[in-house]
């Protein structure tokens, strides 16, 4: 069987590699023998992880500290990446916000849309072209279980995750003729810094970031999208059976109890 490096190319670029699911992706890919480019804002964390992965797995690891809300992040990133062959792109960086839409700061919401939606589009446009020329590559998008139904009081965040689900699924179809594997990954509640950043309570069923990554890597190349965890899969499926207005009202009542007092 081919290694990931043989199948997709030498380097994997992971955004949001300083914590949580992104860090778990970086560890998985380095363990599998891929050189890794680590992107996020926190320089010390990226540099410590890069040094650890090189020492542990003998791979090259490049830390690229940058802010994905910066209008010029692509110029800074492409300059650092140079002509390295990026074969796997993990569009993972993202965060959430909760509360009434009317009370959210529009500038903060715009930043979230930049990180969660615009950055994956810009990165994919840039790195997909050489993948198409090589007729190989893999691109992952971080969606969420909240992408499977409108989610009041996390409205903008849930919409960004629906965007990633549709982006990943649409590109799966468009890019398969070039032998590029695309996957939209939807975790449920996962034990990362996400809930602290979003001021959100964690749900009752919590997955580890390592399990979420295993789920993704098993599904990559086999299907356009995957939901992590049996209960999350059932929930995502159940939303298709009930009238949309019913699931929306239920979600609004339950989430409103916690986030819109």
Ligand X SMILES: NC(=O)c1ccc[n+]([C@@H]2O[C@H](COP(=O)([O-])OP(=O)(O)OC[C@H]3O[C@@H](n4cnc5c(N)ncnc54)[C@H](OP(=O)(O)O)[C@@H]3O)[C@@H](O)[C@H]2O)c1
Binding site for ligand X (CB under 6 A): 16-22, 40-42, 67-69, 92-96, 115, 142, 144, 187, 189-190, 192-194, 197
3-state secondary structure of 228: coil
Nearest to 200 by CA among 153, 144, 168: 153
Least separation, in Å, of the C-beta of 157 and ligand X? 7
245 vs 261: CA distance, rounded Å: 22
Q: Give the residue with the Cβ less far from ligand X, 84 or 195.
A: 195
- Provide the strand spans (E) within 156-207: 180-186
Joined tokens for residue 134: 């090589």
Least separation, in Å, of the C-beta of 105 and ligand X? 15
What percent of the residues of the chain are helix, what percent strand, and what percent coil, each to the nearest 5?
55, 15, 30
Least separation, in Å, of the C-beta of 3 and ligand X? 26
Q: Give the residue with the Cβ less far from ligand X, 42 or 211.
A: 42
| Catalytic choice (95, 157, 173, 178) | 157
Least separation, in Å, of the C-beta of 40 and ligand X? 3
| Cα separation values, 206 from 79, 180, 232, Å | 38, 31, 11
Q: Give the residue with the Cβ less far from ligand X, 136 or 214.
A: 214
Least separation, in Å, of the C-beta of 217 and ligand X? 15
Q: Give the residue with the Cβ less far from ligand X, 115 or 219.
A: 115
Q: Give the residue with the Cβ less far from ligand X, 8 or 148.
A: 148
Q: Is 95 a catalytic residue?
A: no
At CB < 8 A and 24+ separation, what contacts does 252-257 make? 252/152, 252/153, 255/151, 255/152, 255/153, 255/154, 256/152, 256/153
Asked if 130 and 180 count as a contact pair (C-beta separation under 8 A), the reply is: no
Q: Which residues are catalytic?
A: 157
């Amino acid at each position: 069987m081919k290694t990931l490096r043989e199948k997709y190319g030498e380097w994997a670029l992971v955004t949001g590699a300083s914590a949580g699911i992104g860090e778990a992706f970086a560890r998985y890919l380095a363990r599998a023998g891929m050189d890794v480019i680590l992107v996020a804002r926190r320089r010390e964390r990226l540099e410590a992880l890069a040094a650890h992965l090189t020492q542990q797995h003998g791979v090259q690891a490049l830390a690229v500290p940058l802010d994905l809300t910066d209008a010029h992040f692509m110029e800074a990133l492409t300059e650092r990446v140079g002509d390295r062959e990026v074969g796997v792109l993990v569009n993972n960086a993202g965060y959430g916000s909760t509360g009434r839409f009317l009370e959210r700061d529009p500038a903060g919401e715009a930043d979230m849309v930049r990180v969660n939606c615009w950055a994956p589009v810009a990165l994919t446009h840039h790195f997909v072209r050489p993948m198409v020329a090589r007729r190989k590559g893999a691109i992952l998008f971080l969606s969420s279980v909240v992408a499977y139904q409108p989610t009041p009081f996390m409205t903008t965040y849930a919409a960004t995750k629906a965007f990633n689900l549709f982006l990943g699924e649409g590109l799966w179809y468009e890019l398969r003729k070039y032998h590029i594997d695309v996957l939209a990954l939807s975790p449920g509640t996962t034990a990362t810094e996400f809930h602290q950043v979003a001021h959100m309570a964690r749900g009752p069923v919590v997955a580890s970031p390592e399990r979420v990554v295993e789920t993704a890597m098993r599904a990559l190349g086999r299907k356009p999208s995957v939901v992590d965890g049996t209960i999350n899969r059932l929930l995502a499926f159940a939303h298709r059976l009930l009238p949309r207005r019913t699931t929306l009202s239920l979600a609004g009542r339950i989430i409103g109890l916690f986030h819109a007092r």
